[in-house]
Structure 1
Amino acid sequence: MALKWRMQCIHMEQIVLMSSKEISIPFDSFYTLDIEGFLLIKLKIFSPVHSFILDTEDKCWKSVFNPSQLQQLKLASNKLFCEYGEACKNMFSVFSKVIKDAKSRKLASIASSSSTSSAAATTAATDPSSSELTLTIKDEEDLIDELWERLAEIGLINPRKHYDLYWLQKTIDHFLNLYRFKVLEWVKNHGSEMDFINRVWTILDQVFDDIRVETRRDNGSVSATFIDNEDRAVAGMAAIAAKVSSIRPDLVLFQNGVEYGVAECGKGDDEEVGKKEIVETSLDCPKIMKSMFLHAALKCDNDEGVTRALQIVGFCHFDLRMKVLVMDNANGYVCRIRSTPQYEISTIPSQMSSGLLPILKLTLRSKLTIQSSIKVVNDYFTPGEDNDPDFQASMDQNKTRLVLPRLQKSPNKKPKKSV
């Protein structure tokens, strides 16, 4: 079976390019990339490519595809984030306007101040991001109060009728308190990984409550454990292999035996270039997402319709920064990962529009993406007229199956401790 997948991997149009006939690459370049050092036993350089994962932001593809080809891979099948409701959009607009108005008032005061030079006023007017427009501590405190007052004007929201709006109101109120009492500052400067999780990121977990998704923290992944141990069996040739311990992600999104999302969190050590952040966002998270994808597809008997529609979401939280990964299988046998831009929550309230608000928008859109995947799985299990049980071989005759390549396990480089 391993040899079969290696041979299929050489057929670029079928595997790597997801059946796109518009893109072609030199045979030798991909052969070198995929065979030498990747699928041989030594595995000197381990990568998601081993597991048939094509991360469109992975730098290794820049030497294989040109920019227009990469863009085609990103846009294949045109799967977009789901849109949240108008009520949430209106709330975001209100808060953005309050922040913009506060800056406009600051600009007006600069222009009318007799102590400010005309040159400084001109600079502030032409460049809103200039230092002349920096709000004072008093201005920032007044802005927090004004935002809270606008939030209070909305009144109580019934979570049973408008849960997303309810969550958004509660979450913004939570972050206003983090700004008001300088919590974000001390967490950013002196906080541990657990401080970032407890004080900042867990509030986002609650967005999934109304769709009955369990947000399991510090818990093993059912999918990763299953995929890593699926070869354990009574084969008659050797004893049952020892159970393999799987990676424990920081968050697993679980419902009815299926996992739809994962998160890796941490305290960044070197502003996006630390080893822990690189490994967890570029290797660990994609592999866990692939395990979840394979497990969900297997739960649905590897039905091709389910596999093509399924999407798994990954959250990457490091320090106050967040980006979202989305895995799908647009065509062929490769699982594609697309990434959003990375946003950072500023410790300055007047900069919420460029950090916190986009993160809340991404969280809502990710939730709706997961909700659509849940619907795909649930619809498969909805009884139909042709749902009569039979032998597996007989049932397979009437269905189109798509079995994706397995994960390649990371080589264990840790020396075993002597007993």
Structure 2
Amino acid sequence: MYISPCLSFIIDPYDATYIQNGIFTQSELEEIKDYNAVAMDNLPKDLVDYLMLFDCHTSEDLRKACFENQKWYYPFNKTEHYCHDWIRRTIDMMIPEFEAGSLKKQHHENWYMVRIWSLIDRLFTDVEDLEAVRGESGSIATAARKNQDRVIPSMVKMKRKAMGRRADLILRKGSAEYGCAEAGAKDEGLWGTKKLLEKGMKAAKALKDMLNQLSDLVGNDEASVRQLCTIGYIISGMSLEVMIMDSPTGYCCRITRSQLFSIPTSAFQVKSKLLPLMSALIVTKLRVLKVIDIVENYGSSDVNFRNSLANAFKVGSLIPSSPERKTIMLPSCNITPTKRRRNSTS
């Protein structure tokens, strides 16, 4: 038997498996995609106007546009102008790569993550206490799910603590996680094996674990949970696909995928490739900020605060009590079965 995201209550309407096995029709999958679709903010007009200044075809024109006098540059207001500065710095970083022709060659995965995709890390630098964790860090949300059945040793030996699923990047604020990235050095197209597994299983389950964690932080309040989502960045060489995990209704989670974006290999392609990519990344950041606001301000209303004071002490229980009305419990991901090790023969 093969493991599937649907066993973890994840529906991917872009997965052809549902059509091939007669589970859903194409019209039903389109309905799943469109129902209460994730609302992504439009890019503010001032940012669109600034991006359009880089409608250039040579590195010389790009250099001129980068250092053209802008009213926002001084005095600088980080709250209002950080994304403007990120756009300028990102393009300035790309100019030497265009001039050296390095983007036309194949490189190791780490080269892409350090030289190119660090632009994702820098996009979130201004968000207070939010860290873009690198270095195959284990997810706290996934570790919590894997270890939820651990008990003190009594009748059996205590289970060894399981590590969280590792990702190439995790957006973490405190112990709350809002997104992750999975990266590969080669772009094998939409149907490459590594890409299918990372976006269809590895990233999908990690994003659901993070969504479950955020749901707990808002008390599984249905109105709040329906507004939550987690963001995934699937990177293959110089291409990027954004995936969004949410739970629009019921107890299942849904995946929404973006078009494929890519890094240009020359200054001539900045307008057609780099500007749309930066625009999409800024939009995902705006969405992450909204989710952070929902999570951190949950319970701040007078009614919720009075109720929390009235019910400040609750006796714990091994068996969860029935959820109150207007609350939901998103099921945890299914445990991925481990492969049996074959005994070596002499």
Q: Normalised by the size of structure 1, how large is the TM-score?
A: 0.73
Out of 165, 168, 187, the position equivalent to 2:87 is: 168
Deviation at 1:296, TM superposition (A): 1.5
Q: How many residues are paired up?
A: 327
The 1:236–1:397 alpha-carbon spacing in structure 2 relative to 1, beyond 3 Å, is same
The 1:330–1:239 alpha-carbon spacing in structure 2 relative to 1, beyond 3 Å, is same
Aligned with 2:291: secondary structure? helix
| 1:316 and 2:234 matched | yes
Structure 2 counterpart of 1:390: 313
Structure 1 counterpart of 2:172: 254
Larger radius of gyration: 1
| 1:405 and 2:338 matched | no
Aligned with 2:255: secondary structure? strand
**Alpha-carbon contact 2:51-2:87 (below 8 Å) kept:** no
| 1:229 and 2:147 matched | yes
Tell me how far apart the structure 2 counterparts of residues 392 and 398 of structure 1 sit (CA, whole Å).
16
1:255-306 Cα offsets, whole Å, 9 max, x none, are: 1221000000111263344322221121100010011111111233322222
The 1:382–1:347 alpha-carbon spacing in structure 2 relative to 1, beyond 3 Å, is same
**Sequence identity, in percent?**
26
Out of 336, 359, 365, the position equivalent to 2:277 is: 359
**Alpha-carbon contact 1:252-1:262 (below 8 Å) kept:** yes
- Which structure is higher in helix share? 1
Tell me how far apart the structure 1 counterparts of residues 28 and 188 of structure 2 sit (CA, whole Å).
32
**Alpha-carbon contact 1:144-1:176 (below 8 Å) kept:** yes
Tell me how far apart the structure 2 counterparts of residues 231 and 417 of structure 1 sit (CA, whole Å).
30
| 1:201 and 2:117 matched | yes
| 1:267 and 2:193 matched | no
| 1:144 and 2:59 matched | yes
Tell me how far apart the structure 1 counterparts of residues 340 and 238 of structure 2 sit (CA, whole Å).
31
Q: Normalised by the size of structure 2, how large is the TM-score?
A: 0.88
1:39-90 Cα offsets, whole Å, 9 max, x none, are: xxxxx11111110101121111223322322221111113221223222110
Aligned with 1:250: secondary structure? strand
Tell me how far apart the structure 2 counterparts of residues 387 and 341 of structure 1 sit (CA, whole Å).
43
Aligned with 1:406: secondary structure? coil
Give 5+ residue unaligned stretches, structure 2.
none
| 1:344 and 2:262 matched | yes
Partner amino acid, structure 1, of 2:118: T
Partner amino acid, structure 2, of 1:410: T
Aligned with 1:292: secondary structure? helix
| 1:215 and 2:124 matched | no
Tell me how far apart the structure 1 counterparts of residues 176 and 218 of structure 2 sit (CA, whole Å).
10
Of residues 155-164 and 76-85 in structure 1, the stretch that sits farther from structure 2 once superposed is: 155-164
Give 5+ residue unaligned stretches, structure 1.
1-43, 100-142
Partner amino acid, structure 1, of 2:115: R
Aligned with 1:197: secondary structure? helix
